[in-house]
Structure 1
Amino acid sequence: MDSVKFKEYIYGNLASIFWSIFLLIGGAIFVSYYANIGYMPDFDFKSSITLVSAASITAILTVLLFIVILILPGAFWSGTWADSSSLRSNWEDEKGHKELFKTALWFGVPILYFYGLLAIFVVSWMVAIPYFLIGISLFFLVVYKKSTLIRKPLIAETAKMLFASFTSSILAFFPIFIVFSLSLSSLTTSKGSPAFVGIIVAVFIVFINVLATAKPNKINGLVYYPGLGFAAFFVVFSSFEIFHRVPERVMELYKFGSIEAKKIIMKNEACETLLLLGVLPKVEPKKQCFLNDVKILSRLGKDMYLEVNDIKFTIKNSEILSWSVQEISNKSSNSDAASSAGS
């Protein structure tokens, strides 16, 4: 195909191509989720554009959020201070290219100082005060020795450096928290214990952020930073083997599936079915019965796919009267919020 005609086709059908890709991502979310639970509902994707679109938007935003969080500390430090600092000759060569080791020192040491301040403050605020004052004085002295600045410009440059480093240390808390939480979780991976995997992943994220501070001049930031973020995202999710959590979270958010239900109330027809499946020990002569602590794997389509005590089974949606979930309220941790769904 002629490249000129191909470009004309792309530009002329940009909206439809974008929409097709958008729907493809949403469809992939549903397919990957149902492949993971080993079930496919009687569900027409073409007639459910709204559901597919919602899944696509949520999945894209979730991935983008993770990508930004994982590389934001280094990108922020570089973009807000390092690239325009009068001290940049200390980590750049004659041609203006950043030297990785020197950049890592100027980026990492102040952040470690602020985390040390936090740790000391937790133990004793009286010890934290002299630690803080000594640290600020040392940073001021370093800026003075490494530059030709004096008086107000010297104070301003030191303040900018401390502000960029302090903010970066706050931003670094989020990837640290993510890795720390996954390391202490009950996940099982083929690569070893979560704690061991967490150490490797943490070191990689630190390295990625150092690379973010040392962006080469010849590479466009719109390509460089997303590339680093995607690499960090891939390493985190593949190392802990949690790629399935993205579609699972999408399904859970919109209550399409992956729902931890407190109770499900069913019609008598469903009760008889559950008795035959061995899920209910007996059925009393009532019009209704219920199950406690059920995971709703899927409620789309004609059937609801449930899991109780490692037993998975389907029940017709028309035989479900109501289901409820228990959520923690913002006002009171002891209050329950019930969400019900009819047939």
Structure 2
Amino acid sequence: MNAPSIQFAQVLTVLVAAPGVSGVIARVESRLQGRRGTRVLQPYYDLGKLFRKEALAPHGASWVFLAAPLGAMACYLTVPLLIPVLTTFPLPLGYMGDILGGGFILSLASFAVAVAAAETGAPYAQLGASRAKTFSAITEPVVLFVVFTVALVTGTDLPYALAETVRSSAEQIVRPAHLLAAAALFLVILAETGRIPVETHTGTNEFGMIEEARPFEHSGPYFAMLRWGSAMKQLILFVILINVFIAPWGLASSAGVGAVALAIAALLGKCVVLGVVIAVIDNSFAKLRLFKITEFVAAAFLLAVLAVFTLYFGGG
């Protein structure tokens, strides 16, 4: 396989596998709660049903309302070009942006969805958009500290170079600063994917909703793209944590078809394991109240700050 085709395979893997990973997590959660639950492939059926439905827009909504799902999907499809999804070697667009740039692209997608929700005038959608932006102002500094810490440890903030540094020696993984930064990023992923501290990723009409409230006014294909994009965001965060921070193994070191196929299988296996761990955590703790989110994210921020202090003062 040539480099462009592998790069296309990275994007296609994230695009196709994202709903399946969400289906596995939902199935595990159902079993942990003593329910039969839905099929693993249910997210694909839901997306197919939504794409066949009619798309409606609230009265008075501008073109931004309909453009936001397309813009968000474009952002989610761009990030896999920058991170090591399948290969250990950088692809043609792999050095187009660093890990901080990938975070900005994910934030842009969230901003587009929030703007579309805010202009509908619907109370639930506006409430979800307001809460999402309020709490993202707390989580984004944590991500910045994580990136800076790992950049100080490894000497670079390029995702492929970060993964290569971690993969070079087991000592890189067990360094205190690296472990603290990875733990902080894991807490951010729990909050960003709606697992902890408030509500679940399949929330209902409750005042504690955040992520699920924003697309309330979308329907048909546009709602399908938002649901699909949310699953892609979850998988992208999983890939960053696994293939850059804690387990950058199983990636293809050559451009052979067999090596790429094994890399896809390894990625899906690692993401499913991480999803099961998150599902167990999600069902092992009671949900926190809304105002407790700041305390939860503050713990992640403290871990990131401790990582920097450990690096400079503790030989981390």
Q: Give the number of the structure whose residues are more often strand, by fraction.
A: 1
Determine which structure has more spread, i.e. the larger CA radius of gyration: 1
Give me the TM-score of the superposition, normalised by structure 2.
Answer: 0.24
Q: Which has the higher contact order (CA 8 A, sep 6+)?
A: 2
Considering fraction of residues, name the structure with more helix: 2
